[in-house]
Amino acid sequence: MPLSKKRIGIVCPYGWDTPGGVKSHIGDLAEYLIAQGHTVSVLAPSSSDENLPSYVTSAGRPISIAYNGAVARLLFGPVAFSRVKSWIADGNFDVLHLHEPAIPSISLLACWAAEGPMVGTFHAASARKKIAFAITPFVEPVIEKLNARIAVSEAARETLRIHLDTDAMVVPNGIYAARFADATVDPRWSGNTIGFIGRFEEYRKGLSVLIEALPQILSRIPDIRILIAGPGDPESFLEKLEPHLRNRFTFLGTISESDKANFMASVGIYVAPNTGGESFGIILAEALAAGAAVLASDIPAFDSLLGGGEYGTLFESENAHDLADKAIALLQDPAHRSAIAKRGHDYAQCFDWDVVAERIYDVYEMAMVGGRGVTLASDNRAWNRLLGRSNE
Protein backbone atom coordinates (compact mmCIF):
# COMPACT_ATOMS: atom_id res chain seq x y z
CA MET A 1 0.00 0.00 0.00
CA PRO A 2 1.52 3.39 -0.96
CA LEU A 3 2.53 5.66 1.91
CA SER A 4 0.41 8.57 0.69
CA LYS A 5 -2.61 8.73 3.00
CA LYS A 6 -5.96 9.66 1.48
CA ARG A 7 -9.45 10.64 2.52
CA ILE A 8 -11.72 7.97 1.04
CA GLY A 9 -15.52 8.09 0.90
CA ILE A 10 -17.32 4.79 0.35
CA VAL A 11 -21.05 4.48 -0.34
CA CYS A 12 -22.91 1.28 0.58
CA PRO A 13 -26.32 1.06 -1.14
CA TYR A 14 -27.75 -1.61 1.16
CA GLY A 15 -28.93 -1.32 4.75
CA TRP A 16 -25.98 -1.56 7.12
CA ASP A 17 -27.98 -3.47 9.73
CA THR A 18 -28.89 -6.25 7.28
CA PRO A 19 -26.40 -9.10 6.66
CA GLY A 20 -25.11 -9.28 3.10
CA GLY A 21 -22.01 -9.86 1.02
CA VAL A 22 -21.73 -6.29 -0.32
CA LYS A 23 -22.03 -4.76 3.15
CA SER A 24 -19.46 -7.20 4.55
CA HIS A 25 -17.07 -6.45 1.68
CA ILE A 26 -17.37 -2.70 2.27
CA GLY A 27 -16.89 -3.06 6.01
CA ASP A 28 -13.76 -5.18 5.58
CA LEU A 29 -12.36 -2.81 2.96
CA ALA A 30 -12.98 0.24 5.16
CA GLU A 31 -11.32 -1.38 8.17
CA TYR A 32 -8.35 -2.51 6.10
CA LEU A 33 -7.82 0.97 4.65
CA ILE A 34 -8.15 2.56 8.10
CA ALA A 35 -5.54 0.14 9.45
CA GLN A 36 -3.23 1.34 6.66
CA GLY A 37 -3.59 4.94 7.89
CA HIS A 38 -6.22 6.26 5.48
CA THR A 39 -9.21 8.30 6.61
CA VAL A 40 -12.37 6.47 5.57
CA SER A 41 -16.04 7.40 5.84
CA VAL A 42 -18.81 5.03 4.77
CA LEU A 43 -22.30 6.33 3.99
CA ALA A 44 -25.04 3.70 4.26
CA PRO A 45 -28.75 3.39 4.99
CA SER A 46 -29.47 2.22 8.51
CA SER A 47 -32.61 1.61 10.52
CA SER A 48 -30.87 2.88 13.64
CA ASP A 49 -27.79 4.95 14.46
CA GLU A 50 -27.03 2.68 17.39
CA ASN A 51 -24.13 0.24 17.15
CA LEU A 52 -22.83 1.68 13.89
CA PRO A 53 -19.03 1.56 13.51
CA SER A 54 -17.37 4.93 14.00
CA TYR A 55 -16.56 5.15 10.30
CA VAL A 56 -20.22 4.71 9.18
CA THR A 57 -22.63 7.63 8.69
CA SER A 58 -26.33 6.79 8.39
CA ALA A 59 -28.13 8.22 5.36
CA GLY A 60 -31.54 7.34 6.81
CA ARG A 61 -33.87 4.38 7.08
CA PRO A 62 -33.92 1.99 4.11
CA ILE A 63 -37.00 0.38 2.60
CA SER A 64 -37.35 -3.17 1.33
CA ILE A 65 -37.65 -3.80 -2.41
CA ALA A 66 -37.41 -6.93 -4.55
CA TYR A 67 -34.04 -6.97 -6.31
CA ASN A 68 -32.08 -9.67 -8.16
CA GLY A 69 -34.03 -12.58 -6.70
CA ALA A 70 -33.92 -11.34 -3.12
CA VAL A 71 -35.17 -8.51 -0.95
CA ALA A 72 -32.81 -5.54 -0.77
CA ARG A 73 -32.99 -2.69 1.74
CA LEU A 74 -32.28 0.50 -0.19
CA LEU A 75 -32.72 4.25 0.18
CA PHE A 76 -33.65 6.75 -2.52
CA GLY A 77 -35.46 10.06 -2.93
CA PRO A 78 -35.14 13.79 -2.23
CA VAL A 79 -34.37 13.51 1.50
CA ALA A 80 -31.67 10.93 0.84
CA PHE A 81 -30.25 13.12 -1.93
CA SER A 82 -29.92 16.01 0.51
CA ARG A 83 -28.09 13.83 3.03
CA VAL A 84 -25.78 12.47 0.35
CA LYS A 85 -24.84 15.98 -0.74
CA SER A 86 -24.16 17.06 2.86
CA TRP A 87 -21.91 14.05 3.42
CA ILE A 88 -19.95 14.77 0.24
CA ALA A 89 -19.61 18.47 1.09
CA ASP A 90 -18.33 17.69 4.60
CA GLY A 91 -16.03 14.84 3.60
CA ASN A 92 -13.29 16.64 1.65
CA PHE A 93 -12.61 13.30 -0.04
CA ASP A 94 -9.72 12.55 -2.35
CA VAL A 95 -11.72 9.76 -3.98
CA LEU A 96 -15.28 8.44 -3.83
CA HIS A 97 -15.94 4.70 -4.08
CA LEU A 98 -19.54 3.87 -5.02
CA HIS A 99 -20.92 0.34 -4.82
CA GLU A 100 -23.73 -0.66 -7.21
CA PRO A 101 -24.18 2.89 -8.60
CA ALA A 102 -26.59 1.73 -11.33
CA ILE A 103 -29.52 0.83 -9.08
CA PRO A 104 -31.92 3.26 -7.34
CA SER A 105 -29.84 3.86 -4.22
CA ILE A 106 -27.67 6.39 -2.44
CA SER A 107 -24.75 5.23 -4.60
CA LEU A 108 -26.56 6.45 -7.70
CA LEU A 109 -27.44 9.69 -5.90
CA ALA A 110 -23.80 10.21 -4.90
CA CYS A 111 -22.61 9.58 -8.44
CA TRP A 112 -24.98 12.28 -9.70
CA ALA A 113 -24.20 14.73 -6.87
CA ALA A 114 -20.40 14.58 -7.00
CA GLU A 115 -17.63 15.68 -9.31
CA GLY A 116 -14.04 14.51 -9.22
CA PRO A 117 -12.32 11.14 -8.76
CA MET A 118 -14.98 8.42 -8.53
CA VAL A 119 -14.72 4.63 -8.69
CA GLY A 120 -17.73 2.35 -9.12
CA THR A 121 -17.83 -1.30 -8.06
CA PHE A 122 -20.48 -3.50 -9.67
CA HIS A 123 -21.52 -6.63 -7.80
CA ALA A 124 -24.73 -7.76 -9.52
CA ALA A 125 -24.74 -10.69 -11.90
CA SER A 126 -28.03 -11.71 -13.48
CA ALA A 127 -29.74 -12.63 -16.71
CA ARG A 128 -31.18 -9.84 -18.83
CA LYS A 129 -34.78 -10.65 -17.98
CA LYS A 130 -34.07 -10.64 -14.24
CA ILE A 131 -31.77 -7.68 -13.77
CA ALA A 132 -33.08 -4.72 -11.81
CA PHE A 133 -30.70 -2.06 -13.10
CA ALA A 134 -32.43 1.33 -13.26
CA ILE A 135 -31.75 1.88 -16.94
CA THR A 136 -33.22 5.26 -17.77
CA PRO A 137 -31.92 8.22 -19.78
CA PHE A 138 -30.71 9.60 -16.46
CA VAL A 139 -28.54 6.65 -15.47
CA GLU A 140 -26.10 6.13 -18.31
CA PRO A 141 -24.75 9.74 -18.23
CA VAL A 142 -24.24 9.30 -14.48
CA ILE A 143 -22.24 6.10 -14.90
CA GLU A 144 -20.09 7.84 -17.51
CA LYS A 145 -18.91 10.17 -14.73
CA LEU A 146 -17.00 7.31 -13.10
CA ASN A 147 -13.25 7.54 -13.61
CA ALA A 148 -12.85 3.78 -13.15
CA ARG A 149 -15.10 0.73 -12.90
CA ILE A 150 -14.57 -2.49 -10.98
CA ALA A 151 -16.53 -5.73 -11.40
CA VAL A 152 -16.14 -8.32 -8.65
CA SER A 153 -16.21 -11.23 -11.11
CA GLU A 154 -16.38 -12.02 -14.81
CA ALA A 155 -20.11 -12.67 -14.33
CA ALA A 156 -20.58 -9.17 -12.89
CA ARG A 157 -18.45 -7.71 -15.67
CA GLU A 158 -20.57 -9.41 -18.33
CA THR A 159 -23.75 -8.16 -16.67
CA LEU A 160 -22.36 -4.62 -16.75
CA ARG A 161 -21.44 -4.91 -20.42
CA ILE A 162 -24.90 -6.23 -21.35
CA HIS A 163 -26.97 -3.73 -19.41
CA LEU A 164 -24.90 -0.56 -19.43
CA ASP A 165 -22.73 -1.16 -22.50
CA THR A 166 -19.55 -0.43 -20.56
CA ASP A 167 -16.61 -2.44 -19.27
CA ALA A 168 -14.75 -2.84 -16.00
CA MET A 169 -11.62 -4.40 -14.59
CA VAL A 170 -12.21 -7.49 -12.48
CA VAL A 171 -11.09 -7.22 -8.84
CA PRO A 172 -12.53 -9.93 -6.58
CA ASN A 173 -14.01 -9.47 -3.15
CA GLY A 174 -11.54 -9.81 -0.31
CA ILE A 175 -11.22 -12.12 2.69
CA TYR A 176 -8.92 -12.25 5.70
CA ALA A 177 -7.35 -15.55 4.68
CA ALA A 178 -5.25 -15.89 7.85
CA ARG A 179 -8.39 -15.98 10.00
CA PHE A 180 -9.53 -19.09 8.16
CA ALA A 181 -6.09 -20.68 7.99
CA ASP A 182 -6.07 -20.77 11.82
CA ALA A 183 -9.33 -22.75 11.92
CA THR A 184 -9.45 -25.98 13.91
CA VAL A 185 -11.50 -29.11 13.37
CA ASP A 186 -14.44 -29.38 15.76
CA PRO A 187 -15.61 -32.99 16.27
CA ARG A 188 -19.22 -31.80 16.59
CA TRP A 189 -19.18 -30.93 12.90
CA SER A 190 -16.78 -33.47 11.38
CA GLY A 191 -17.37 -36.87 9.81
CA ASN A 192 -20.00 -37.56 7.16
CA THR A 193 -21.39 -34.06 7.25
CA ILE A 194 -22.53 -31.52 4.69
CA GLY A 195 -22.21 -27.88 5.74
CA PHE A 196 -24.26 -24.94 4.51
CA ILE A 197 -24.12 -21.27 5.53
CA GLY A 198 -26.69 -18.71 4.43
CA ARG A 199 -30.25 -17.44 4.65
CA PHE A 200 -31.68 -20.91 4.20
CA GLU A 201 -35.26 -19.72 3.70
CA GLU A 202 -34.27 -17.68 0.64
CA TYR A 203 -35.05 -19.71 -2.48
CA ARG A 204 -32.01 -18.68 -4.51
CA LYS A 205 -29.66 -20.05 -1.82
CA GLY A 206 -30.73 -23.46 -3.12
CA LEU A 207 -31.27 -25.45 0.06
CA SER A 208 -34.34 -27.02 -1.57
CA VAL A 209 -32.02 -28.63 -4.13
CA LEU A 210 -29.97 -30.22 -1.35
CA ILE A 211 -33.17 -31.47 0.32
CA GLU A 212 -34.25 -33.08 -2.94
CA ALA A 213 -30.84 -34.76 -3.21
CA LEU A 214 -30.86 -36.05 0.37
CA PRO A 215 -32.70 -39.38 -0.13
CA GLN A 216 -30.20 -40.38 -2.82
CA ILE A 217 -27.28 -39.42 -0.59
CA LEU A 218 -28.79 -41.35 2.34
CA SER A 219 -29.03 -44.48 0.22
CA ARG A 220 -25.23 -44.56 -0.02
CA ILE A 221 -24.21 -42.74 3.17
CA PRO A 222 -26.81 -43.66 5.82
CA ASP A 223 -25.20 -41.60 8.61
CA ILE A 224 -25.05 -38.31 6.69
CA ARG A 225 -25.84 -35.13 8.64
CA ILE A 226 -26.73 -31.69 7.26
CA LEU A 227 -25.41 -28.77 9.32
CA ILE A 228 -26.94 -25.38 8.60
CA ALA A 229 -25.69 -22.04 9.89
CA GLY A 230 -27.44 -18.76 9.21
CA PRO A 231 -30.58 -16.78 9.95
CA GLY A 232 -34.04 -18.24 9.54
CA ASP A 233 -36.83 -20.16 11.29
CA PRO A 234 -35.81 -23.82 11.67
CA GLU A 235 -39.20 -24.97 12.99
CA SER A 236 -41.08 -23.61 10.01
CA PHE A 237 -38.48 -25.15 7.71
CA LEU A 238 -38.62 -28.59 9.31
CA GLU A 239 -42.43 -28.71 9.15
CA LYS A 240 -42.16 -28.83 5.35
CA LEU A 241 -39.84 -31.86 5.36
CA GLU A 242 -40.73 -35.53 5.28
CA PRO A 243 -40.62 -36.78 8.90
CA HIS A 244 -37.82 -39.29 8.24
CA LEU A 245 -35.54 -36.49 6.97
CA ARG A 246 -35.97 -34.04 9.84
CA ASN A 247 -33.46 -35.64 12.20
CA ARG A 248 -30.75 -35.28 9.56
CA PHE A 249 -30.70 -31.50 10.00
CA THR A 250 -28.96 -29.50 12.71
CA PHE A 251 -29.51 -25.74 12.76
CA LEU A 252 -26.78 -23.66 14.37
CA GLY A 253 -28.25 -20.20 13.89
CA THR A 254 -25.97 -17.26 13.11
CA ILE A 255 -22.43 -18.16 14.16
CA SER A 256 -19.39 -16.02 14.98
CA GLU A 257 -16.55 -15.47 12.52
CA SER A 258 -14.25 -17.81 14.47
CA ASP A 259 -16.94 -20.49 14.62
CA LYS A 260 -17.55 -20.02 10.90
CA ALA A 261 -13.90 -20.77 10.17
CA ASN A 262 -13.93 -23.84 12.40
CA PHE A 263 -17.23 -24.99 10.88
CA MET A 264 -15.83 -24.83 7.35
CA ALA A 265 -12.63 -26.62 8.39
CA SER A 266 -14.65 -29.39 10.08
CA VAL A 267 -17.46 -30.40 7.73
CA GLY A 268 -16.98 -33.33 5.37
CA ILE A 269 -17.92 -31.11 2.43
CA TYR A 270 -19.19 -27.56 2.18
CA VAL A 271 -22.08 -27.19 -0.28
CA ALA A 272 -23.30 -24.05 -2.07
CA PRO A 273 -26.37 -25.08 -4.10
CA ASN A 274 -27.33 -21.51 -5.07
CA THR A 275 -29.64 -21.22 -8.06
CA GLY A 276 -28.51 -17.80 -9.31
CA GLY A 277 -28.20 -14.12 -8.49
CA GLU A 278 -24.65 -14.46 -7.12
CA SER A 279 -21.94 -12.20 -8.47
CA PHE A 280 -18.92 -13.65 -6.70
CA GLY A 281 -19.39 -16.07 -3.81
CA ILE A 282 -17.41 -14.69 -0.88
CA ILE A 283 -18.54 -17.63 1.24
CA LEU A 284 -16.82 -20.01 -1.19
CA ALA A 285 -13.54 -18.08 -0.98
CA GLU A 286 -13.76 -18.30 2.82
CA ALA A 287 -14.53 -22.02 2.70
CA LEU A 288 -11.52 -22.62 0.46
CA ALA A 289 -9.28 -20.62 2.81
CA ALA A 290 -10.48 -22.76 5.73
CA GLY A 291 -9.50 -25.93 3.85
CA ALA A 292 -13.00 -27.15 3.04
CA ALA A 293 -13.79 -29.41 0.12
CA VAL A 294 -16.33 -27.26 -1.74
CA LEU A 295 -19.26 -28.54 -3.80
CA ALA A 296 -21.08 -25.75 -5.62
CA SER A 297 -23.64 -25.24 -8.37
CA ASP A 298 -22.15 -24.31 -11.73
CA ILE A 299 -23.70 -20.84 -11.90
CA PRO A 300 -21.27 -18.47 -13.70
CA ALA A 301 -19.90 -16.74 -10.59
CA PHE A 302 -19.14 -20.02 -8.80
CA ASP A 303 -17.74 -21.67 -11.93
CA SER A 304 -15.36 -18.71 -12.33
CA LEU A 305 -14.32 -18.60 -8.68
CA LEU A 306 -13.63 -22.35 -8.58
CA GLY A 307 -11.61 -22.28 -11.81
CA GLY A 308 -14.10 -24.43 -13.71
CA GLY A 309 -13.73 -27.18 -11.11
CA GLU A 310 -9.98 -26.94 -10.45
CA TYR A 311 -10.38 -25.68 -6.88
CA GLY A 312 -13.74 -27.19 -5.97
CA THR A 313 -16.35 -29.54 -7.40
CA LEU A 314 -19.21 -28.25 -9.54
CA PHE A 315 -22.62 -29.78 -10.14
CA GLU A 316 -25.29 -28.78 -12.63
CA SER A 317 -27.34 -25.98 -11.09
CA GLU A 318 -30.76 -27.08 -9.75
CA ASN A 319 -29.99 -30.72 -10.63
CA ALA A 320 -30.50 -32.62 -7.36
CA HIS A 321 -29.41 -35.95 -8.89
CA ASP A 322 -26.06 -34.47 -9.99
CA LEU A 323 -25.58 -32.81 -6.59
CA ALA A 324 -26.15 -36.18 -4.90
CA ASP A 325 -23.73 -38.01 -7.21
CA LYS A 326 -20.98 -35.45 -6.64
CA ALA A 327 -21.54 -35.32 -2.87
CA ILE A 328 -21.39 -39.12 -2.59
CA ALA A 329 -18.21 -39.27 -4.68
CA LEU A 330 -16.48 -36.67 -2.51
CA LEU A 331 -17.53 -38.17 0.81
CA GLN A 332 -16.48 -41.68 -0.26
CA ASP A 333 -13.05 -40.63 -1.57
CA PRO A 334 -11.11 -38.92 1.25
CA ALA A 335 -7.87 -38.76 -0.77
CA HIS A 336 -9.49 -36.87 -3.66
CA ARG A 337 -11.40 -34.67 -1.23
CA SER A 338 -8.18 -33.78 0.59
CA ALA A 339 -6.30 -33.04 -2.64
CA ILE A 340 -8.91 -30.68 -4.06
CA ALA A 341 -9.26 -28.96 -0.67
CA LYS A 342 -5.48 -28.39 -0.61
CA ARG A 343 -5.56 -26.82 -4.09
CA GLY A 344 -8.47 -24.64 -3.06
CA HIS A 345 -6.75 -23.51 0.14
CA ASP A 346 -3.61 -22.44 -1.73
CA TYR A 347 -5.65 -20.64 -4.39
CA ALA A 348 -7.72 -18.77 -1.79
CA GLN A 349 -4.68 -16.71 -0.81
CA CYS A 350 -5.22 -14.57 -3.93
CA PHE A 351 -8.41 -13.25 -2.29
CA ASP A 352 -6.60 -12.07 0.85
CA TRP A 353 -7.08 -8.38 1.64
CA ASP A 354 -3.34 -7.77 1.37
CA VAL A 355 -3.69 -8.63 -2.31
CA VAL A 356 -7.19 -7.32 -3.08
CA ALA A 357 -6.88 -3.97 -1.29
CA GLU A 358 -3.66 -3.26 -3.14
CA ARG A 359 -5.46 -3.73 -6.45
CA ILE A 360 -8.35 -1.52 -5.33
CA TYR A 361 -5.91 1.16 -4.21
CA ASP A 362 -4.23 1.02 -7.63
CA VAL A 363 -7.65 1.80 -9.12
CA TYR A 364 -8.06 4.71 -6.70
CA GLU A 365 -4.72 6.14 -7.76
CA MET A 366 -5.68 5.82 -11.41
CA ALA A 367 -8.92 7.71 -10.69
CA MET A 368 -7.04 10.40 -8.75
CA VAL A 369 -4.62 11.29 -11.55
CA GLY A 370 -4.51 15.08 -11.69
CA GLY A 371 -4.71 15.63 -7.95
CA ARG A 372 -8.19 17.17 -7.77
CA GLY A 373 -10.52 16.14 -4.94
CA VAL A 374 -14.22 15.31 -4.80
CA THR A 375 -16.64 18.24 -4.85
CA LEU A 376 -20.36 18.72 -5.33
CA ALA A 377 -21.53 18.94 -8.93
CA SER A 378 -22.39 22.48 -9.95
CA ASP A 379 -25.85 21.70 -11.40
CA ASN A 380 -28.23 19.03 -10.16
CA ARG A 381 -31.43 20.64 -11.39
CA ALA A 382 -32.34 17.83 -13.81
CA TRP A 383 -31.91 15.21 -11.09
CA ASN A 384 -33.87 17.34 -8.64
CA ARG A 385 -36.73 17.49 -11.12
CA LEU A 386 -36.63 13.70 -11.54
CA LEU A 387 -36.73 13.16 -7.79
CA GLY A 388 -39.54 15.68 -7.48
CA ARG A 389 -41.63 13.79 -10.02
CA SER A 390 -40.83 10.42 -8.39
CA ASN A 391 -42.10 11.81 -5.10
CA GLU A 392 -45.42 13.08 -6.41
361: CATH: 3.40.50.2000
Q: Are residues 302 and 365 in the same domain?
A: no
Identify whether 201 is part of a domain.
yes
Q: Are residues 299 and 255 in the same domain?
A: yes
Q: Is the pLDDT of residue 315 over 80?
A: yes
Q: Are residues 331 and 360 in the same domain?
A: no
Q: Is the pLDDT of residue 302 over 90?
A: yes
Count other C-beta atoms under 10 Å from residue 308's C-beta: 11
Strand partners, 297: 315
- Strand, helix or coil for residue 88: helix
Phi, psi angles (nearest 5°) of residue 320? -65, -35
| Contact residues for 155 (Cβ-Cβ < 8 A; gap 6+) | 125, 278, 279, 280, 299, 300, 301, 304
Phi, psi angles (nearest 5°) of residue 205? -75, -15
Q: Is the pLDDT of residue 105 over 80?
A: yes
Q: Are residues 129 and 41 in the same domain?
A: yes
Q: Are residues 154 and 23 in the same domain?
A: yes
Provide the pLDDT for residue 130.
44
Tell me: the pLDDT tens digits for 188-200?
999 999 999 998 8
Identify whether 389 is part of a domain.
no
Identify whether 24 is part of a domain.
yes
Q: Is the pLDDT of residue 229 over 50?
A: yes
Identify whether 390 is part of a domain.
no
pLDDT class for 131, splitting at 50, 70, 90? very low
Identify whether 212 is part of a domain.
yes
Q: Are residues 221 and 277 in the same domain?
A: yes
Identify whether 314 is part of a domain.
yes
Q: Are residues 261 and 361 in the same domain?
A: no
Among 29-43, 60-74, 214-228, 290-304, the range scoring the smallest mean pLDDT is: 60-74
Average pLDDT, the chain: 90
Tallying the residues shown for the chain, one arrives at 392
pLDDT class for 384, splitting at 50, 70, 90? low
Identify whether 294 is part of a domain.
yes
Dist. CA 270–CA 291, nearest whole Å: 10
Domains identified in the chain, total number:
2
Provide the pLDDT for residue 136.
53
Q: Give DSSP secondary structure letters for 242-275.
A: -HHHHTTEEEEES--HHHHHHHHHHSSEEEE---
The HSE-up count of residue 255 (CA atoms within 13 Å, CB side) is 18
Range of the domain at 260: 177-350
Count other C-beta atoms under 10 Å from residue 238's C-beta: 14
Q: Is the pLDDT of residue 135 over 60?
A: no
pLDDT class for 71, splitting at 50, 70, 90? confident
Q: Are residues 184 and 277 in the same domain?
A: yes
Phi, psi angles (nearest 5°) of residue 193? -130, 150
Q: Which amino acid is at 249?
A: F
Q: Are residues 184 and 331 in the same domain?
A: yes
Q: Are residues 138 and 85 in the same domain?
A: yes
Provide the pLDDT for residue 28.
95
Most confident of 59-68, 318-327, 362-371: 318-327
Provide the pLDDT for residue 70.
66
Provide the pLDDT for residue 20.
83
Q: Is the pLDDT of residue 5 over 50?
A: yes
Work out the average pLDDT over 13-33: 93
Identify whether 244 is part of a domain.
yes
Q: Are residues 186 and 164 in the same domain?
A: no
Q: Are residues 313 and 184 in the same domain?
A: yes
